[in-house]
Structure 1
């Protein structure tokens, strides 16, 4: 019997090209996720619209990302359809990067961002599904790496964009003079990151909408379009590697019934499809009620944790510059970067931790850590230093919840249901809805309610996780051929050929 690390490396070498391709498409998602916040003011200048109008571009991207996540599973019935959807989606992202500088009206820009959001959602669902199909019970390590590449793309994107951002007003009005004042653009960009509140707060900034546009942000989008082009190329190369298309008449395309055993093994996981695929009669037949409850609990947990990520990233700046902290704009602007850097670092570290420890143990530590950090942030709410420390630790703790929960839920259900699609869709919904909820609460109750909301939701998430562990024990009693109730001490990936 192979040792766990040898087993993991053996699997990785066997599926090297497939795994690297799926990781690369998530780098595309990261590029697309992170550019909108820093460039929103320059895009406002380009479209010559008001701040209230441009913030709806955020909603367009988030809403259609949710739509893409929901329907992405429909393209995963066969390997060919999955790779075709990935190729189309990654190519669309490059095309969107190219045409964004040509969108001179906010409606056109919203449509473009909606198309990009749908492509991102499709990639999110299919990428997770394909890795689960490839590695099944050994998927935890590779899912951690997959989500690390989103963080990597999200770190690279602002670095590409930053040199091309306007340092002053990028729409020069006819009555503009050298003495004309403009708001602190860095402060305004960070405020707009929490777009749930931005719709109510931006009327105080009198920026020009008519005049000469002097923004240079187009170059950043064209650079990212070129950076992203190798990704659809890698997907296309994988299609040929899997012999799913023909280059000549002498070698016809493989039919489903002619697939070799290795290709068939990749598609032997049934039931992955739309978000409601777990409710199909043929899937539910013979399954206990806990089958559906596990889907619901897993979705609820990632709804909360991804919602916390989106809310914290969106509103930590607003919290920091408000009383009682009253942190400087430039210092507070670093908090968001610290948070995303710690999320990325956390996902990198959990790649190694996930094959030494079980997913339930990692989830327990992470969810308890999130509650403790939020509680300490509430206690030391006047400390600038602790806000930075807490932001860093929070990013490390919450970074791996989604991939660990996905691996754990699929393992409980023995890869029979559509847990991946349900969890991906729930995470996208939580990221969108909790930001709107927290933004509304901040407007009505003040900035301190920001930490109170995230603390309460993190406690609810941990309670739901405990309920999931109990449901797992009940579910395992109805499955005579399944594994026993979860053991937090058992090491994962115990080997096997």
Structure 2
């Protein structure tokens, strides 16, 4: 049978929370991809320059990092996690509804900063809760989770496209450079790198004619069922004040796990000497270390090394996703390829389409293939794709083939790395915050770095940079495999949960 009976039973028992976390990640994807296509219309709405409006990207991304870090602090309480998810998903709908009324770039940046906080919290909490529910079986469900963010990221530009202005949305009698080809300017805008649009000058004064507000209101309406789904889950768990619901006699899997964990923590407090010995020998100190930060001496050096290797790998791979999608158009329109603007504009779309397709393919594959094996093939394929692009850099066909290949191999790196790292650390959810934050930092920092390198060294440095990062990521993964073999809790990481074996805690 393709689907394991025990896994199917576990999925059925946790059907409502699983679908809720997936839907919340759809909100995350919906919000993360709309800004690029709509930025020129938002520039008109706020009467701001291109250099000023591109800093809205920074406000969103920086607060996304802050939200990712804050999301990890809610790990201990399921009630608080669901409440935060409800507020964040509702906030995203409110942000979509409010954006058309932001007539100053500073106000727009503040609104996008709030959206970034909500997105970051969603990113960490949703990943963390799925890991806690499914543990060693979490890989396939994480793949589905990240498919939904890709689906949302594909949908929002499609919704916005019919409402984008075909001509300059600020009506002016001035004739200025760059105003004749808005599609080229849209494709040239790169997040966190305003220098690349400094040579475009567009009018700042005049009546505004844009219909992009309808796109935001449509996205706000599409997202509204998501906070409703989170509210229903809170109601089903009996967490809505004044709306008590009688619970059944059987606990769900995650509730049972929480009860077991509470019992183990109470026992640990009463028997600290037994807890300390068990922490050192069996890895229970991992939970204490990352969640309470009291006993760093009990953790082996491999604990820190695993976090560092995994975080740096995701820093580079997610950074590659951001910098490649942002600069592949710029690379294609410059020498030696000198592609037409319209043809080069298909490259970012092809890249994101292949990422979404790859995530869809990874769902059944991750059920049969361990995360460690998937990561190895992904990182080798990513390096091979960049080498192929570098060796055939004068071929237009090779650029399209390499872009599609790179998107497919990069698609499942994050969920596979998250599942593998949590596997090494006994599924405590501790690594999730570190990995999510590192991935977000990579996406922001590497775009700035690549933009600076391309500006000073030329467009050829774009592929050289990618090859270097991909080979370095693969080398770090080999180091992670070595750490897997020498880490005290073993390669599988599937140590008994505290409280699951009463004899272990008997004096």
CA drift of 1:88 comes to 0.3
Residue in 2 that maps onto 1:326: 338
Quickly say closer, same or farther: Cα 1:79–1:313, change in 2 above 3 A.
same
Residue in 1 that maps onto 2:10: 11
Residue in 2 that maps onto 1:240: 235
Matched, 1:220 2:215: yes
CA drift of 1:264 comes to 3.1
Matched, 1:461 2:452: no
Quickly say closer, same or farther: Cα 1:18–1:181, change in 2 above 3 A.
closer
Matched, 1:200 2:212: no
Matched, 1:182 2:179: yes
Structure 1 window deviating more from structure 2 (94-103 vs 282-291): it is: 282-291
CA distance in 2, matches of 1:390, 1:261: 45
CA drift of 1:286 comes to 2.8
For residue 464 of structure 2, the aligned residue among 444, 452, 455 is 452
CA drift of 1:242 comes to 1.5
| 1:150-189 equivalent positions in 2, closer than 5 A | 150-173=149-172, 175-176=173-174, 182-189=179-186
| 1:39-50 equivalent positions in 2, closer than 5 A | 39-50=38-49
Q: TM-score, normalised by structure 2?
A: 0.88
Q: Please tell me whether the aligned partners of residues 319 and 442 of structure 2 are also in contact (alpha carbons under 8 angstroms).
A: yes
CA distance in 1, matches of 2:483, 2:222: 45
Secondary structure of 1:343's match?
A: helix
CA distance in 1, matches of 2:109, 2:289: 30
Secondary structure of 2:204's match?
A: coil
Residue in 2 that maps onto 1:396: 408
Matched residue count:
471
Report 1 or 2 for greater relative contact order, CA contacts < 8 Å, sequence distance ≥ 6: 1
CA distance in 1, matches of 2:250, 2:69: 28
CA drift of 1:124 comes to 0.1
| 1:62-77 equivalent positions in 2, closer than 5 A | 62-77=61-76
Residue in 1 that maps onto 2:391: 379
Quickly say closer, same or farther: Cα 1:114–1:340, change in 2 above 3 A.
same
| 1:340-419 equivalent positions in 2, closer than 5 A | 340-416=352-428, 418-419=430-431
Gaps of 5+ in 1: 487-497
Q: Please tell me whether the aligned partners of residues 125 and 421 of structure 1 are also in contact (alpha carbons under 8 angstroms).
A: yes
Secondary structure of 2:368's match?
A: coil
CA distance in 1, matches of 2:492, 2:227: 42
Give CA deviations for 1:418-476 in whole Å, capped at 9, x if unaligned: 1011101110111111111111101111111011111101111001100011011110x
Q: TM-score, normalised by structure 1?
A: 0.90
Q: Please tell me whether the aligned partners of residues 485 and 491 of structure 2 are also in contact (alpha carbons under 8 angstroms).
A: no
CA distance in 2, matches of 1:417, 1:293: 17
| 1:2-41 equivalent positions in 2, closer than 5 A | 5-41=4-40
CA distance in 1, matches of 2:391, 2:288: 42
Give CA deviations for 1:381-415 in whole Å, capped at 9, x if unaligned: 01111111111111100110010000000000112
Q: Please tell me whether the aligned partners of residues 10 and 253 of structure 2 are also in contact (alpha carbons under 8 angstroms).
A: no
CA distance in 2, matches of 1:110, 1:359: 38
Residue in 1 that maps onto 2:274: none
CA distance in 2, matches of 1:121, 1:484: 29
Q: Please tell me whether the aligned partners of residues 163 and 215 of structure 2 are also in contact (alpha carbons under 8 angstroms).
A: yes
Give CA deviations for 1:86-115 in whole Å, capped at 9, x if unaligned: 000000000000000000000000000111
Residue in 1 that maps onto 2:501: none
Secondary structure of 1:204's match?
A: coil
Quickly say closer, same or farther: Cα 1:166–1:159, change in 2 above 3 A.
same
CA distance in 1, matches of 2:29, 2:66: 18
Matched, 1:139 2:117: no
| 1:106-125 equivalent positions in 2, closer than 5 A | 106-125=105-124
Give CA deviations for 1:60-85 in whole Å, capped at 9, x if unaligned: 11111011011111123211100000
CA drift of 1:303 comes to 0.6
Q: Please tell me whether the aligned partners of residues 133 and 254 of structure 2 are also in contact (alpha carbons under 8 angstroms).
A: no
Q: Please tell me whether the aligned partners of residues 297 and 464 of structure 1 are also in contact (alpha carbons under 8 angstroms).
A: yes
CA drift of 1:181 comes to 7.9
Q: Please tell me whether the aligned partners of residues 344 and 399 of structure 1 are also in contact (alpha carbons under 8 angstroms).
A: yes
Residue in 2 that maps onto 1:91: 90
Quickly say closer, same or farther: Cα 1:277–1:319, change in 2 above 3 A.
farther
CA distance in 1, matches of 2:359, 2:437: 20
